[in-house]
Amino acid sequence: MAKQGRIIRIGPTDNTSDQRTPRQRLRLIPEGARESFVPVAPARFAAGPHEWDMTRTAPDRPRAEGVPIEVTGTVRTQSGAPVRNALLEVWSANHYGRYRHVEDHSNLQLDENHLGVGRVFTDEDGAYRFWAISPGAYLARPDIGRWRPKHIHMSLSGGAPRLITQMYFPDEPNNVSDPMAILMGDAFVRNIANPRDIGGADVDEAYDFDIVVGGRNATYFE
Amino acid sequence: MTADLPNALPATNEDTCGPYFPIFFEDPALEDLTFVHPGLIGHAKGAPIILRGRVLDRHGDLANGAILEFWQANATGIYRSPANDGHPDIDPWFHGFGRLRSASGAYEFRTIMPGAPQGRAPNVTITIFSDGISRIVTQMFFEGQSTNATDPVLQAVGEDAPRLLARHDGRTSKGEEVYLFDIVMAGDGETPFFDDLES
């Protein structure tokens, strides 16, 4: 059977997904045009040296409310090669589930010690590390009582590898009803961080979250 | 492809960027590719253009909070990719990668007119991230280019090819050629999107 492009599925109970998901089957890229579909992000990023510590707004400021956590991991391609010197942009809600974003009109509690944005780089082994406040879950659909589970957003840019994803937490009651988790199906486990010992870090919890860039998106089907 | 190899690592799932991609991460140098930085001498070769348009949902409403990433060849048709390292026609003041976040869903992106890559018509690859979706990818062309008739991507989409053509809308007082290109994410007039991982 001839190869076909995929059809993107719509996230259940997700109004925006219904409004914005293409309905047509994706078109196949002709062989002669493949190079043009692989953008290469230039390695000229800017980030503050303190942005790895998202548990405070600046080194001389107190810790934000909630549970400070450390997140570490490696970024690799599917063949196992480390994605080196790549930019990892991280954003997450505060302890109360509020983003310090001018478009978050939820009226949930802000925290004067929490920005929830930070940028870090992978090293020569593809490894990264940051501190954050364990984010609060929040009620995304009050009309049907659906919550967004605790999650941390990550955007990875490094040469050709490109990924925007979310890291979830194990055993959270709202994981099973999350629209995107439902689309991921059994592959959702790949997006759940693994708890580990905190070692000597000045945090209360620590997680490993290894990222592999490439391959099929499990939220598509053929 | 890599995913078919027996030892390939299972890929992390893409996920939606959600509505709150930080405006804090915006970089003006990625929103105007005609110069390298406002404080440095260094202008990209080629004719400056403005791409202007809207990202629309299936109801025709603006898709607020959309992130657009642009990728194109330089004025001589050469991509700044590892495969072209050391190529004599690399423009040192043009890397060809842009990114902007549109609060409203309307966008304006300044760049230079791409040259025609070998065997292709001039084009700009556009990746869209937004709440409700993971990455979707399309490729935009310029009306009136003679190479459009033989471009493999335009040929592959057949009768939908006009939906990938930006319309020329005159020239600004600064001499920039203006092109209009709306992206319809879903529904009537849906823009053709491409399967960037499996083809």
**Positions of chain A with pLDDT lower than 50, given as ranges:** 216-222
User: Nearest by CB to A191, which of B13, B69, B198?
Assistant: B13
Element (H, E) at B171: strand B165-171
Q: How far apart are CA A210 and CA A74, in angstroms?
A: 5
Please, which residues have CB within 8 angstroms of residue A151's CB and are 6 or more apart in sequence? Answer: A92, A135, A166, A167, A168, A169
Question: Is the minimum CB–CB distance between B39 and chain A shorter than 8 Å?
Answer: no
Amino acid A222: pLDDT? 35
Distance from CA of B177 to the nearest CA of A (A): 23
* Residues of chain A found within 8 Å of residue B4, distances taken between Cβ atoms: none
From chain B, pick out residues whose CB is under 8 angstroms from the CB of A102.
Answer: 23
- Give the closest-approach CA distance of A67 to chain B in angstroms: 22
Q: What gap in Å lies between CA A168 and CA B13, rounded to an integer? A: 12
This prediction has a pTM of 0.96
Complex ipTM above 0.90? yes
**Per the CB < 8 Å rule, is A8 touching B133?**
yes
Domains of chain A as residue ranges with CATH = 66-122+142-214 (2.60.130.10)
**pLDDT number for residue A35:** 86
Residues of chain B with pLDDT under 50: 1-2, 198-199
Q: Which of residues 45-74 of B touch A (CB under 8 A)?
A: 57-59, 61, 63-65, 69, 71, 73
Burial class (CB in 10 A: 0-12, 13-18, 19+), A148: buried
Question: Is residue A94 within 8 Å of residue A65, measured between CB atoms?
Answer: yes
Q: With beta carbons under 8 A apart, name residues in chain A contacting B141.
A: none
Domain ranges of chain B: 13-180
Is the Cα dihedral B25, B26, B30, B34 positive or negative?
A: negative
Q: Which two tokens stand for residue A76?
A: 């690799």
Predicted pLDDT at B149? 97
Looking at residue B5, what is its pLDDT? 64
Query: Whole-angstrom Cα distance, residue B113 to residue B158?
Result: 24
Rounded to whole angstroms, the Cα distance separating B87 from B78 reads 8
> Tell me, what's the pLDDT at B36?
85
Q: Which CATH superfamily is domain B13-180 in?
A: Aromatic compound dioxygenase (2.60.130.10)
Let me know: does B107 contact B62? Beta carbons within 8 Å. Answer: no
